[in-house]
Protein backbone atom coordinates (compact mmCIF):
# COMPACT_ATOMS: atom_id res chain seq x y z
CA UNK A 1 0.00 0.00 0.00
CA UNK A 2 1.42 3.35 -1.01
CA UNK A 3 2.11 6.15 1.49
CA UNK A 4 -0.47 8.35 -0.24
CA UNK A 5 -3.19 5.74 0.30
CA UNK A 6 -2.25 5.45 3.99
CA UNK A 7 -2.38 9.23 4.45
CA UNK A 8 -5.79 9.44 2.77
CA UNK A 9 -7.11 6.62 4.97
CA UNK A 10 -5.86 8.35 8.12
CA UNK A 11 -7.41 11.67 7.07
CA UNK A 12 -10.75 10.00 6.35
CA UNK A 13 -10.65 8.30 9.75
CA UNK A 14 -9.90 11.60 11.50
CA UNK A 15 -12.66 13.38 9.58
CA UNK A 16 -15.11 10.68 10.60
CA UNK A 17 -14.07 10.96 14.24
CA UNK A 18 -14.51 14.74 14.19
CA UNK A 19 -17.95 14.39 12.58
CA UNK A 20 -19.00 11.84 15.20
CA UNK A 21 -17.66 13.99 18.05
CA UNK A 22 -19.56 17.03 16.80
CA UNK A 23 -22.76 15.01 16.46
CA UNK A 24 -22.42 13.71 20.00
CA UNK A 25 -21.47 17.15 21.34
CA UNK A 26 -24.62 18.66 19.88
CA UNK A 27 -26.69 16.21 21.89
CA UNK A 28 -24.57 15.76 24.99
CA UNK A 29 -21.90 17.99 26.51
CA UNK A 30 -18.67 16.00 26.66
CA UNK A 31 -17.13 18.00 29.54
CA UNK A 32 -19.96 17.88 32.07
CA UNK A 33 -21.78 14.80 30.66
CA UNK A 34 -24.93 16.88 30.33
CA UNK A 35 -27.37 16.99 27.43
CA UNK A 36 -26.91 20.00 25.18
CA UNK A 37 -29.03 22.53 23.35
CA UNK A 38 -30.66 20.15 20.88
CA UNK A 39 -31.90 17.86 23.68
CA UNK A 40 -33.22 20.91 25.54
CA UNK A 41 -35.25 21.83 22.45
CA UNK A 42 -36.56 18.28 22.25
CA UNK A 43 -37.61 18.34 25.90
CA UNK A 44 -39.53 21.55 25.26
CA UNK A 45 -41.63 19.71 22.70
CA UNK A 46 -42.24 16.87 25.14
CA UNK A 47 -43.24 19.30 27.89
CA UNK A 48 -46.25 20.42 25.86
CA UNK A 49 -48.42 23.19 27.23
CA UNK A 50 -48.46 22.04 30.85
CA UNK A 51 -47.01 24.26 33.54
CA UNK A 52 -43.21 24.27 33.76
CA UNK A 53 -40.35 26.73 34.21
CA UNK A 54 -37.14 27.27 32.29
CA UNK A 55 -34.10 28.85 33.94
CA UNK A 56 -30.78 30.05 32.49
CA UNK A 57 -27.70 30.22 34.72
CA UNK A 58 -24.30 31.87 34.28
CA UNK A 59 -21.22 31.83 36.49
CA UNK A 60 -20.32 35.44 37.25
CA UNK A 61 -16.78 36.29 36.19
CA UNK A 62 -16.01 32.80 34.91
CA UNK A 63 -13.37 34.15 32.55
CA UNK A 64 -11.40 35.40 35.54
CA UNK A 65 -11.31 31.85 36.91
CA UNK A 66 -9.80 30.56 33.66
CA UNK A 67 -7.35 33.47 33.50
CA UNK A 68 -6.24 33.17 37.12
CA UNK A 69 -6.18 29.40 37.57
CA UNK A 70 -6.04 27.90 34.08
CA UNK A 71 -8.51 25.95 31.99
CA UNK A 72 -8.23 22.65 33.91
CA UNK A 73 -9.46 24.41 37.07
CA UNK A 74 -12.22 26.12 35.08
CA UNK A 75 -13.30 22.75 33.68
CA UNK A 76 -13.36 21.26 37.19
CA UNK A 77 -15.60 24.12 38.37
CA UNK A 78 -18.01 23.42 35.51
CA UNK A 79 -18.09 19.71 36.34
CA UNK A 80 -18.85 20.47 40.00
CA UNK A 81 -21.57 22.90 38.98
CA UNK A 82 -23.14 20.31 36.69
CA UNK A 83 -23.10 17.69 39.45
CA UNK A 84 -24.70 20.04 42.00
CA UNK A 85 -27.41 21.03 39.55
CA UNK A 86 -28.24 17.39 38.78
CA UNK A 87 -28.43 16.60 42.49
CA UNK A 88 -30.54 19.66 43.27
CA UNK A 89 -33.39 19.39 40.76
CA UNK A 90 -36.49 17.24 41.11
CA UNK A 91 -37.59 14.09 39.33
CA UNK A 92 -38.50 14.79 35.73
CA UNK A 93 -36.46 17.99 35.63
CA UNK A 94 -33.69 18.48 33.08
CA UNK A 95 -30.22 20.04 33.38
CA UNK A 96 -28.48 21.17 30.18
CA UNK A 97 -25.20 22.87 29.34
CA UNK A 98 -25.67 25.28 26.45
CA UNK A 99 -22.16 26.70 26.05
CA UNK A 100 -19.20 27.84 28.12
CA UNK A 101 -20.52 28.57 31.60
CA UNK A 102 -24.17 28.81 30.49
CA UNK A 103 -26.53 26.18 31.86
CA UNK A 104 -30.28 25.68 31.46
CA UNK A 105 -32.89 23.98 33.62
CA UNK A 106 -36.26 22.68 32.44
CA UNK A 107 -38.31 22.30 35.61
CA UNK A 108 -41.46 20.16 35.45
CA UNK A 109 -41.54 19.62 39.23
CA UNK A 110 -42.22 23.31 39.91
CA UNK A 111 -44.82 24.49 37.37
CA UNK A 112 -44.99 28.13 38.45
CA UNK A 113 -42.77 30.85 39.89
CA UNK A 114 -44.20 30.52 43.41
CA UNK A 115 -42.85 26.98 43.65
CA UNK A 116 -39.83 27.52 41.40
CA UNK A 117 -38.41 30.46 43.38
CA UNK A 118 -37.44 28.46 46.51
CA UNK A 119 -35.87 25.70 44.41
CA UNK A 120 -33.78 28.12 42.36
CA UNK A 121 -32.71 30.05 45.45
CA UNK A 122 -31.51 26.79 47.06
CA UNK A 123 -29.60 25.88 43.90
CA UNK A 124 -27.88 29.28 43.78
CA UNK A 125 -26.90 28.92 47.44
CA UNK A 126 -25.60 25.40 46.81
CA UNK A 127 -23.53 26.57 43.86
CA UNK A 128 -22.08 29.31 46.06
CA UNK A 129 -20.50 26.78 48.43
CA UNK A 130 -16.70 26.41 48.13
CA UNK A 131 -15.58 24.60 45.01
CA UNK A 132 -13.03 21.81 45.57
CA UNK A 133 -11.02 22.99 42.55
CA UNK A 134 -10.62 26.49 44.01
CA UNK A 135 -8.43 27.23 47.00
CA UNK A 136 -10.47 28.18 50.06
CA UNK A 137 -12.07 30.57 50.79
CA UNK A 138 -12.75 31.24 47.09
CA UNK A 139 -16.32 30.71 45.96
CA UNK A 140 -18.32 31.51 42.85
CA UNK A 141 -21.55 33.43 42.40
CA UNK A 142 -24.18 32.43 39.88
CA UNK A 143 -26.87 34.56 38.24
CA UNK A 144 -30.16 32.99 37.20
CA UNK A 145 -33.05 34.21 35.06
CA UNK A 146 -36.29 32.27 34.73
CA UNK A 147 -39.59 32.26 32.84
CA UNK A 148 -42.64 30.04 33.30
CA UNK A 149 -45.16 28.46 30.96
CA UNK A 150 -47.89 29.46 30.38
CA UNK A 151 -47.76 32.76 32.35
CA UNK A 152 -44.71 34.09 30.44
CA UNK A 153 -45.45 32.47 27.10
CA UNK A 154 -45.90 29.09 25.49
CA UNK A 155 -43.38 29.06 22.65
CA UNK A 156 -39.87 27.79 23.26
CA UNK A 157 -38.24 30.84 21.69
CA UNK A 158 -40.38 33.21 23.77
CA UNK A 159 -39.65 31.46 27.05
CA UNK A 160 -35.90 31.26 26.41
CA UNK A 161 -35.76 34.90 25.33
CA UNK A 162 -37.63 36.01 28.45
CA UNK A 163 -35.49 33.88 30.75
CA UNK A 164 -32.46 35.48 29.11
CA UNK A 165 -33.91 38.96 29.74
CA UNK A 166 -34.34 38.10 33.41
CA UNK A 167 -30.77 36.77 33.54
CA UNK A 168 -29.42 40.02 32.09
CA UNK A 169 -31.37 42.02 34.68
CA UNK A 170 -29.71 40.06 37.48
CA UNK A 171 -26.25 40.48 36.01
CA UNK A 172 -26.73 44.22 35.52
CA UNK A 173 -28.12 44.83 39.00
CA UNK A 174 -25.67 42.79 41.04
CA UNK A 175 -23.88 39.52 40.47
CA UNK A 176 -25.63 36.53 41.97
CA UNK A 177 -29.30 35.84 42.55
CA UNK A 178 -32.52 34.87 40.81
CA UNK A 179 -35.00 36.94 38.80
CA UNK A 180 -38.19 35.92 37.04
CA UNK A 181 -39.35 37.63 33.88
CA UNK A 182 -41.94 40.37 34.23
CA UNK A 183 -43.55 42.79 31.79
CA UNK A 184 -41.39 45.70 32.96
CA UNK A 185 -38.31 43.82 31.79
CA UNK A 186 -39.74 43.67 28.29
CA UNK A 187 -40.50 47.38 28.36
CA UNK A 188 -37.00 48.21 29.60
CA UNK A 189 -35.45 46.02 26.94
CA UNK A 190 -37.45 47.76 24.22
CA UNK A 191 -36.21 51.07 25.59
CA UNK A 192 -32.63 49.76 25.63
CA UNK A 193 -32.92 48.73 21.97
CA UNK A 194 -34.27 52.15 21.05
CA UNK A 195 -31.46 53.90 22.92
CA UNK A 196 -28.89 51.57 21.38
CA UNK A 197 -30.10 52.41 17.88
CA UNK A 198 -30.01 56.11 18.73
CA UNK A 199 -26.41 55.82 19.90
CA UNK A 200 -25.62 54.23 16.54
CA UNK A 201 -27.45 57.12 14.82
CA UNK A 202 -30.07 54.72 13.45
CA UNK A 203 -33.21 55.74 15.37
CA UNK A 204 -35.67 58.37 14.24
CA UNK A 205 -37.28 60.53 16.89
CA UNK A 206 -34.18 60.55 19.10
CA UNK A 207 -31.53 63.27 19.12
CA UNK A 208 -28.05 63.03 20.63
CA UNK A 209 -26.72 66.50 21.41
CA UNK A 210 -24.16 68.32 23.53
CA UNK A 211 -24.87 70.89 26.19
CA UNK A 212 -22.17 73.12 27.65
CA UNK A 213 -21.66 74.31 31.22
CA UNK A 214 -19.23 77.15 32.00
CA UNK A 215 -16.10 76.67 34.08
CA UNK A 216 -15.29 79.98 35.77
CA UNK A 217 -12.01 81.44 37.01
CA UNK A 218 -12.84 82.27 40.63
CA UNK A 219 -10.30 85.09 40.81
CA UNK A 220 -11.35 87.04 37.72
CA UNK A 221 -14.87 85.57 37.66
CA UNK A 222 -14.63 85.16 33.91
CA UNK A 223 -15.42 82.09 31.86
CA UNK A 224 -12.31 79.97 31.33
CA UNK A 225 -13.94 77.20 29.31
CA UNK A 226 -16.89 74.87 29.01
CA UNK A 227 -17.55 71.25 29.89
CA UNK A 228 -19.30 69.27 27.15
CA UNK A 229 -22.13 67.13 28.51
CA UNK A 230 -23.94 64.57 26.35
CA UNK A 231 -27.72 64.69 26.22
CA UNK A 232 -30.19 62.29 24.55
CA UNK A 233 -33.79 63.26 23.89
CA UNK A 234 -36.55 60.89 22.82
CA UNK A 235 -39.79 62.20 21.33
CA UNK A 236 -41.65 59.62 23.43
CA UNK A 237 -39.55 59.34 26.58
CA UNK A 238 -38.24 62.90 26.91
CA UNK A 239 -34.72 63.51 28.20
CA UNK A 240 -32.88 60.28 29.01
CA UNK A 241 -30.39 60.57 31.91
CA UNK A 242 -26.73 60.36 30.81
CA UNK A 243 -26.08 57.59 33.31
CA UNK A 244 -28.69 55.51 31.49
CA UNK A 245 -27.49 55.83 27.91
CA UNK A 246 -23.77 55.93 28.76
CA UNK A 247 -24.24 52.72 30.75
CA UNK A 248 -25.93 51.07 27.77
CA UNK A 249 -23.11 52.22 25.49
CA UNK A 250 -20.53 50.70 27.84
CA UNK A 251 -22.39 47.41 28.22
CA UNK A 252 -22.97 47.01 24.49
CA UNK A 253 -19.48 47.94 23.31
CA UNK A 254 -20.56 51.25 21.77
CA UNK A 255 -18.71 53.64 24.07
CA UNK A 256 -15.67 54.06 21.81
CA UNK A 257 -17.60 55.08 18.67
CA UNK A 258 -20.02 57.18 20.75
CA UNK A 259 -17.21 59.05 22.49
CA UNK A 260 -15.46 59.70 19.19
CA UNK A 261 -18.66 61.05 17.67
CA UNK A 262 -19.31 63.36 20.63
CA UNK A 263 -15.72 64.63 20.76
CA UNK A 264 -15.83 65.50 17.06
CA UNK A 265 -19.08 67.41 17.66
CA UNK A 266 -17.57 69.24 20.64
CA UNK A 267 -14.46 70.24 18.69
CA UNK A 268 -16.56 71.70 15.89
CA UNK A 269 -18.57 73.72 18.41
CA UNK A 270 -15.51 74.90 20.33
CA UNK A 271 -13.82 76.18 17.19
CA UNK A 272 -16.46 78.93 17.18
CA UNK A 273 -15.32 80.15 20.62
CA UNK A 274 -12.47 82.58 21.34
CA UNK A 275 -9.19 80.70 21.25
CA UNK A 276 -8.42 81.18 24.94
CA UNK A 277 -11.45 79.14 26.04
CA UNK A 278 -10.89 75.49 26.87
CA UNK A 279 -13.05 72.44 26.20
CA UNK A 280 -13.55 69.85 28.92
CA UNK A 281 -14.63 66.37 27.81
CA UNK A 282 -15.40 63.24 29.86
CA UNK A 283 -13.77 59.88 29.20
CA UNK A 284 -15.49 56.60 30.04
CA UNK A 285 -13.83 54.17 32.40
CA UNK A 286 -13.70 51.57 29.62
CA UNK A 287 -11.79 53.92 27.34
CA UNK A 288 -9.00 54.15 29.90
CA UNK A 289 -8.06 50.50 29.47
CA UNK A 290 -8.00 50.71 25.66
CA UNK A 291 -4.45 51.52 24.49
CA UNK A 292 -5.88 52.93 21.24
CA UNK A 293 -7.83 55.66 23.06
CA UNK A 294 -5.10 58.30 23.03
CA UNK A 295 -4.41 57.86 19.32
CA UNK A 296 -8.11 57.98 18.51
CA UNK A 297 -8.57 61.24 20.46
CA UNK A 298 -5.54 62.89 18.93
CA UNK A 299 -6.66 61.84 15.46
CA UNK A 300 -10.04 63.52 16.01
CA UNK A 301 -8.32 66.71 17.15
CA UNK A 302 -6.03 66.72 14.12
CA UNK A 303 -8.93 66.17 11.73
CA UNK A 304 -10.93 68.99 13.33
CA UNK A 305 -7.97 71.36 13.49
CA UNK A 306 -8.47 71.74 17.25
CA UNK A 307 -5.40 72.35 19.39
CA UNK A 308 -4.74 69.69 22.06
CA UNK A 309 -3.69 72.53 24.37
CA UNK A 310 -7.34 73.63 24.55
CA UNK A 311 -8.62 70.17 25.50
CA UNK A 312 -9.04 68.84 29.01
CA UNK A 313 -10.00 65.18 29.45
CA UNK A 314 -11.85 64.29 32.63
CA UNK A 315 -11.57 60.85 34.22
CA UNK A 316 -13.43 59.90 37.38
CA UNK A 317 -11.67 58.63 40.46
CA UNK A 318 -13.80 55.48 40.44
CA UNK A 319 -12.74 54.78 36.84
CA UNK A 320 -9.11 55.10 37.87
CA UNK A 321 -9.60 52.55 40.63
CA UNK A 322 -10.59 49.92 38.05
CA UNK A 323 -8.25 50.75 35.17
CA UNK A 324 -5.23 52.48 36.71
CA UNK A 325 -2.65 50.49 34.74
CA UNK A 326 -4.13 51.19 31.32
CA UNK A 327 -4.98 54.76 32.26
CA UNK A 328 -1.37 55.68 32.91
CA UNK A 329 -0.37 55.06 29.28
CA UNK A 330 -3.43 56.91 27.94
CA UNK A 331 -2.84 59.92 30.20
CA UNK A 332 0.87 60.13 29.40
CA UNK A 333 0.24 60.00 25.64
CA UNK A 334 -2.37 62.76 25.80
CA UNK A 335 -0.30 65.03 28.02
CA UNK A 336 2.70 64.55 25.75
CA UNK A 337 0.73 66.26 22.96
CA UNK A 338 -0.31 69.18 25.17
CA UNK A 339 -3.76 68.06 26.35
CA UNK A 340 -4.52 68.32 30.05
CA UNK A 341 -6.14 65.66 32.20
CA UNK A 342 -8.23 66.14 35.32
CA UNK A 343 -9.40 63.71 37.97
CA UNK A 344 -13.14 64.16 38.44
CA UNK A 345 -15.32 63.56 41.51
CA UNK A 346 -12.25 63.48 43.75
CA UNK A 347 -12.94 62.07 47.19
CA UNK A 348 -15.70 59.68 46.13
CA UNK A 349 -13.52 56.73 45.07
CA UNK A 350 -10.98 54.51 46.77
CA UNK A 351 -7.21 54.80 47.18
CA UNK A 352 -7.26 58.31 45.73
CA UNK A 353 -4.14 59.43 47.55
CA UNK A 354 -1.97 56.59 46.24
CA UNK A 355 -3.18 57.26 42.72
CA UNK A 356 -2.39 60.97 42.89
CA UNK A 357 1.19 60.13 43.76
CA UNK A 358 1.53 57.76 40.83
CA UNK A 359 -0.30 59.52 37.99
CA UNK A 360 0.13 63.04 36.65
CA UNK A 361 -3.00 65.18 36.54
CA UNK A 362 -3.34 68.84 35.66
CA UNK A 363 -6.55 69.53 37.55
CA UNK A 364 -8.41 68.07 40.48
CA UNK A 365 -12.19 68.46 40.60
CA UNK A 366 -13.72 68.56 44.08
CA UNK A 367 -16.96 66.58 44.05
CA UNK A 368 -20.24 68.40 44.59
CA UNK A 369 -21.00 66.28 47.66
CA UNK A 370 -18.35 68.29 49.54
CA UNK A 371 -19.31 71.67 48.09
CA UNK A 372 -22.98 71.22 48.95
CA UNK A 373 -22.11 70.85 52.65
CA UNK A 374 -19.74 73.76 53.16
CA UNK A 375 -21.94 74.98 56.00
CA UNK A 376 -20.46 72.10 58.03
CA UNK A 377 -17.09 72.83 59.68
CA UNK A 378 -15.78 69.29 59.13
CA UNK A 379 -16.61 69.47 55.42
CA UNK A 380 -14.84 72.81 55.13
CA UNK A 381 -11.75 71.23 56.70
CA UNK A 382 -11.85 68.41 54.14
CA UNK A 383 -12.22 70.80 51.19
CA UNK A 384 -9.44 73.02 52.54
CA UNK A 385 -7.19 69.95 52.73
CA UNK A 386 -8.06 68.87 49.18
CA UNK A 387 -7.24 72.34 47.84
CA UNK A 388 -3.89 72.36 49.66
CA UNK A 389 -3.07 68.82 48.53
CA UNK A 390 -3.83 69.58 44.89
CA UNK A 391 -1.78 72.77 44.90
CA UNK A 392 1.18 71.02 46.55
CA UNK A 393 1.06 68.46 43.72
CA UNK A 394 1.01 71.20 41.09
CA UNK A 395 -2.65 70.87 40.15
CA UNK A 396 -5.32 73.52 39.67
CA UNK A 397 -8.49 72.96 41.70
CA UNK A 398 -12.03 73.01 40.29
CA UNK A 399 -15.03 72.96 42.63
CA UNK A 400 -18.17 71.34 41.20
CA UNK A 401 -21.76 71.98 42.17
CA UNK A 402 -21.50 75.63 43.25
CA UNK A 403 -25.05 76.88 43.70
CA UNK A 404 -24.86 79.84 46.10
CA UNK A 405 -22.91 83.12 46.42
CA UNK A 406 -21.66 81.99 49.84
CA UNK A 407 -20.10 78.83 48.38
CA UNK A 408 -18.48 80.85 45.59
CA UNK A 409 -17.03 83.41 48.02
CA UNK A 410 -15.69 80.82 50.46
CA UNK A 411 -14.01 78.72 47.76
CA UNK A 412 -12.40 81.79 46.18
CA UNK A 413 -11.12 82.93 49.58
CA UNK A 414 -9.60 79.48 50.22
CA UNK A 415 -7.64 79.61 46.96
CA UNK A 416 -9.80 77.34 44.79
CA UNK A 417 -8.91 78.17 41.19
CA UNK A 418 -12.08 77.39 39.23
CA UNK A 419 -15.76 76.83 39.87
CA UNK A 420 -18.62 75.14 38.10
CA UNK A 421 -22.30 74.87 38.97
CA UNK A 422 -25.78 76.29 38.56
CA UNK A 423 -24.70 79.54 40.21
CA UNK A 424 -22.72 80.30 37.06
CA UNK A 425 -25.04 78.60 34.61
CA UNK A 426 -26.83 75.38 33.79
CA UNK A 427 -25.70 73.23 30.86
CA UNK A 428 -27.28 74.54 27.67
CA UNK A 429 -27.06 73.75 23.95
CA UNK A 430 -24.66 75.59 21.72
CA UNK A 431 -27.38 77.20 19.61
CA UNK A 432 -29.15 78.81 22.59
CA UNK A 433 -28.49 82.46 23.55
CA UNK A 434 -26.31 81.04 26.32
CA UNK A 435 -23.50 79.93 26.53
CA UNK A 436 -22.31 81.88 23.49
CA UNK A 437 -23.55 85.19 24.89
CA UNK A 438 -21.61 84.72 28.12
CA UNK A 439 -18.28 83.77 26.59
CA UNK A 440 -15.53 85.84 28.16
CA UNK A 441 -17.80 88.02 30.33
CA UNK A 442 -18.44 88.16 34.04
CA UNK A 443 -20.53 85.28 35.36
CA UNK A 444 -22.70 84.84 38.39
CA UNK A 445 -24.20 87.37 40.70
CA UNK A 446 -22.14 90.05 42.47
CA UNK A 447 -20.08 88.40 45.19
Segment 345-395, tens digit of pLDDT: 786 655 456 666 677 899 999 999 999 999 999 999 999 999 999 999 999
The alpha-helical segments, DSSP class H, found in 58-109 are: 62-69, 71-88
Of 38-42, 96-100, 357-361, which range is least confident?
357-361
Give the pLDDT score at 252: 85
pLDDT at 36 over 50: yes
Cβ-Cβ contacts under 8 Å for 63 (sequence gap 6 or more): none
- Comparing 5 with 143, the larger pLDDT belongs to 143
> Is residue 28 within a helix (H) or strand (E), and if so which, with residue range?
strand 28-29
Give the pLDDT score at 447: 36
Q: Give the distance, in angstroms, between the CA of residue 203 and the centroid of all CA atoms in the same chain.
A: 22
Cα 419 to Cα 438: distance, rounded to the nearest angstrom = 15
β-bridge partners, 428 = 212
Of 142-151, 183-192, 198-207, 373-382, which range is least confident?
198-207
Give the pLDDT score at 437: 40
Give the pLDDT score at 243: 85
Give the pLDDT score at 14: 53
Cβ-Cβ contacts under 8 Å for 100 (sequence gap 6 or more): 62
Cα 146 to Cα 115: distance, rounded to the nearest angstrom = 12
Q: How many CB atoms lie within 10 A of CB 20?
A: 10
- Comparing 248 with 8, the larger pLDDT belongs to 248
Cα 72 to Cα 132: distance, rounded to the nearest angstrom = 13
pLDDT, average across residues 227-243: 88
pLDDT in tens, 281-330: 999 888 888 889 999 999 999 999 999 999 999 988 666 666 566 678 88
pLDDT, average across residues 76-99: 90
Give the pLDDT band of residue 91 (cuts 50, 70, 90).
confident
What pTM did the predictor assign? Answer: 0.74
Contacts of 256-260 with C-beta under 8 Å, sequence gap 24+, read: 256/286, 256/287, 256/290, 256/293, 256/296, 257/200, 258/199, 259/283, 259/284, 259/287, 260/296, 260/300
Give the pLDDT score at 203: 64
Give the pLDDT score at 71: 86
pLDDT, average across residues 73-101: 90
Q: How many CB atoms lie within 10 A of CB 18?
A: 10
Give the pLDDT score at 24: 43
Q: Collapsing DSSP states into helix, strand and coil, what is residue 337?
A: coil
pLDDT at 442 over 70: no
Check if the beta carbon of residue 400 is closer than 8 Å to that of residue 371. Answer: yes
Cα 421 to Cα 427: distance, rounded to the nearest angstrom = 9
Rg (CA), the chain: 28
Give the pLDDT score at 308: 97
Cβ-Cβ contacts under 8 Å for 411 (sequence gap 6 or more): 218, 371, 374, 383, 399, 402, 419
Give the pLDDT score at 446: 38
* Structural domains of the chain sorted by starting position, each given as residue range(s) with its CATH number in brackets: 26-181 (3.30.70.270), 192-436 (3.20.20.450)
Q: Counting Cβ atoms within 10 Å, is residue 444 exposed (0-12), middle (13-18) or buried (19+)? A: middle
pLDDT in tens, 155-167: 999 999 999 999 9
Can you spell out the DSSP letters for 125-155? HHHTSPPTTS-TT----EEEEEEEETTT-SS
Q: First-to-last CA distance in the chain?
A: 101
pLDDT in tens, 16-27: 444 444 444 444
Give the pLDDT score at 63: 86
pLDDT at 428 over 70: yes
Cα 399 to Cα 215: distance, rounded to the nearest angstrom = 9
Burial 127-153 (b: 16+ CB within 10 A, else e): beeebebbeeeeebebbbbbbbbeebb
Q: Give the distance, in angstroms, between the CA of residue 175 and the centroid of all CA atoms in the same chain.
A: 14
Highest mean pLDDT among 33-42, 236-245, 263-272: 263-272
Give the pLDDT score at 23: 45
Cα angle value 352/353/358 (rounded, 5°): 95
Q: Counting Cβ atoms within 10 Å, is residue 253 exposed (0-12), middle (13-18) or buried (19+)? A: exposed
Q: How many CB atoms lie within 10 A of CB 332?
A: 13
pLDDT at 251 over 70: yes
pLDDT, average across residues 102-126: 93
Amino acid sequence: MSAAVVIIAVLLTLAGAVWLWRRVARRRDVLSVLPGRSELYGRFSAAGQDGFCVALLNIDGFRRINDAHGYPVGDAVLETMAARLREGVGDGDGVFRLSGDEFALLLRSVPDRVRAAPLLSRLIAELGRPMPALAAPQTISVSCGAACCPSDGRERSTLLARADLALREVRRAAHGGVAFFDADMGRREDERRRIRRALMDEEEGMALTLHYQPIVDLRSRRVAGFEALARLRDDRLGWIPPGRFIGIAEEDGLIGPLSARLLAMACRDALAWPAHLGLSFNLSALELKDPATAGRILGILDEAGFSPARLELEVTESAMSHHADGAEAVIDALRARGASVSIDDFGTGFSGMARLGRLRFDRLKVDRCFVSRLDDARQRTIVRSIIALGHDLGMAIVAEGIETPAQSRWLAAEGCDFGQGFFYGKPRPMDSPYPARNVGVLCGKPA
